[in-house]
């Protein structure tokens, strides 16, 4: 059994709690404790999930006997809890991005290597079955040599202005959204980034008192010379039919592939909600035969996979076998994604193409 803790109980931290508790019901894991700086939220979740709660992650990790911890703090606050956990020998699942600095990622990896700790980044788009088929087809050579690609990922404005208004100014459309597809493109192409050129706009959110980019458009050249454009924003109207609008396409010498992951074929319109499109493949709530709530989908599978990977190591498995056979994104992947995202931001600031290093 894997003993677990969670740092951060916001929107994504709760998903992690749900996944961990389901594994607890299956006698695979045990959620020992959770941590959040909001005492009211913490008390509610401790009561709801029958776990111990802490306001300070250091105190929690010092006191509780856990094998692994999930870090679901805001984008810019990942490094310190990851480094602290690694120094204590705790395996780590960290929400994307791994860190918003290259140096922060490197420090996490150094401490993890020193203490033989697994670092896994929750890039859950790898677990979407449509993306897995995309990966298989591209890697098999079905489309020949990939010459270029295009990605767009856009959120409704409620995400930075309401969901994460207290810290959105420390993030951006690339850090919060773009890194998902940067990782997916890296994984599909089997290549790291080489050069980035980008532009960004600060208009709408700045008017709302949130000093961050509305949108960022970036072109990234990868080491295999494929060129991929990433268009990201988080200012779509609140009445847009889905929280996120997203797709990816690749063009190669022998064909092309396109994947629209916003409109998956089910659309609805009601007086109450207006137009809607559903992505129930991400997280879908159902029930088992006893009436217990069950959460399914690739947003849960990516979290479960971390626990199974820790269990593999606890049973004597090695890191090399794990990293060879798993589809998970590990710390090294998180570092490479941050290198690309950091170069994109530097390019915006300088107005010049930026080497990715």
Per-residue pLDDT of the chain (357 residues; tens, 9 = 90+): 999 999 999 999 999 999 999 999 999 999 999 999 999 999 999 999 999 999 999 999 999 999 999 999 999 999 999 999 999 999 999 999 999 999 999 999 999 999 999 999 999 999 999 999 999 999 999 999 999 999 999 999 999 999 999 999 999 999 999 999 999 999 999 999 999 999 999 999 999 999 999 999 999 999 999 999 999 999 999 999 999 999 999 999 999 999 999 888 899 999 999 999 988 899 999 998 888 889 999 999 999 999 999 999 999 999 999 999 999 999 999 999 999 999 999 999 999 999 999
* Same domain, yes or no: 263 and 314: no
Q: Are residues 35 and 115 in the same domain?
A: yes
| Same domain assignment for residues 132 and 112 | no
Q: Are residues 116 and 10 in the same domain?
A: yes
Q: How far apart are CA 279 and CA 163, in angstroms?
A: 19
Same domain (yes/no): 12, 159: no
CA torsion, points 26, 27, 29, 33, in degrees to nearest 10?
100
Q: What is the pLDDT of residue 292?
A: 85
User: Is 254 a member of any domain?
Assistant: yes
Beta bridge partners of 198: 218
Residues 273 and 140 in one domain: yes
Contact 122, 317 (CB under 8 A): no
123, 5, 11: which is closest to 59 by C-alpha?
A: 5
Give the pLDDT score at 300. 97
Please indicate, yes or no, whether residues 145 and 267 belong to a single structural domain of this protein.
Answer: yes
- Assess whether 110 and 134 both reside in one domain: no
pTM: 0.97
* Residue 233 domain-assigned (yes or no): yes
Statement to judge: residues 130 and 119 lie in one domain: no
Do the domain assignments include residue 190?
A: yes
pLDDT value of position 264: 87
CATH number, domain with residue 62: 3.40.50.720
Cα 328 to Cα 305: distance, rounded to the nearest angstrom = 8
Whether 185 maps to a domain, the answer reads yes
Q: Look at residue 230 and tell me if it is in a domain.
A: yes
CATH at residue 244: 3.30.360.10
333 domain-assigned: no
Terminus-to-terminus CA distance in the chain, angstroms? Answer: 40
Angle between helices 179-189 and 129-139 (to 10 degrees): 40
Could you tell me how far CA 322 lies from the centroid of its own chain? Answer: 20
Q: Is residue 323 a part of any domain in this protein?
A: yes
Residues 230 and 297 in one domain: no
Same domain, 245 and 311: no
Owning domain of residue 41:
2-124+288-328
Check whether residue 270 and residue 314 sit in a common domain: no
Residue 93 belongs to some domain of the structure: yes
- What is the count of structural domains for the chain? 2
């Amino acid at each position: 059994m894997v003993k677990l803790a969670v740092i951060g109980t916001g929107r994504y931290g709760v998903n992690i709690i749900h996944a961990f508790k389901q594994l607890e019901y299956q006698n695979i894991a045990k959620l020992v404790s959770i941590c959040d700086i909001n005492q009211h939220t913490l008390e509610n979740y401790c009561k709801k999930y029958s776990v111990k709660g802490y306001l300070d992650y250091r105190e929690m990790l010092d006191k509780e006997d856990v094998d692994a911890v999930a870090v679901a703090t805001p984008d810019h606050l990942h490094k310190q809890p990851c480094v602290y956990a690694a120094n204590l020998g705790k395996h780590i699942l960290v929400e994307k991005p791994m860190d918003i600095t290259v140096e922060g990622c490197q420090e996490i990896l150094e401490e993890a290597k020193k203490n033989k700790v697994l670092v896994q980044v929750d890039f859950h788009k790898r677990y979407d079955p449509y993306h897995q088929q995309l990966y298989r087809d591209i890697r098999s050579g079905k489309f020949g040599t990939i010459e270029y690609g295009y990605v767009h990922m856009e959120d409704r404005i409620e995400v930075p202005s309401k969901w994460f208004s207290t810290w959105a100014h420390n993030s951006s459309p690339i850090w919060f959204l773009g890194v998902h597809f940067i990782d997916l493109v890296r994984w599909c192409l089997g290549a790291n980034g080489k050069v980035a050129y980008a532009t960004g706009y600060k208009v709408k959110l700045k008017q709302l008192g949130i000093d961050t980019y509305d949108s960022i458009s970036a072109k990234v050249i990868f080491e295999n010379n494929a060129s991929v454009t990433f268009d990201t924003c988080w200012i779509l109207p609140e009445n847009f039919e889905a929280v996120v609008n997203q797709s990816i396409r690749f063009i190669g010498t022998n064909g092309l592939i396109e994947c629209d992951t916003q409109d998956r074929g089910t659309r609805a319109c009601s007086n109450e909600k207006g137009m809607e499109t559903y992505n129930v493949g991400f997280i879908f709530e159902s029930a088992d035969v006893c009436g217990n709530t069950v959460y399914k989908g690739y947003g849960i599978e990516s979290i479960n996979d971390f626990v199974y990977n820790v269990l593999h190591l606890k049973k004597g498995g090695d890191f090399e076998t794990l990293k060879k056979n798993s589809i998970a994104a590990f710390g090294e992947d998180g570092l490479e994604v941050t290198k690309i995202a950091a170069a994109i931001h530097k390019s915006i600031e300088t107005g010049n193409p930026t080497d990715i290093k």
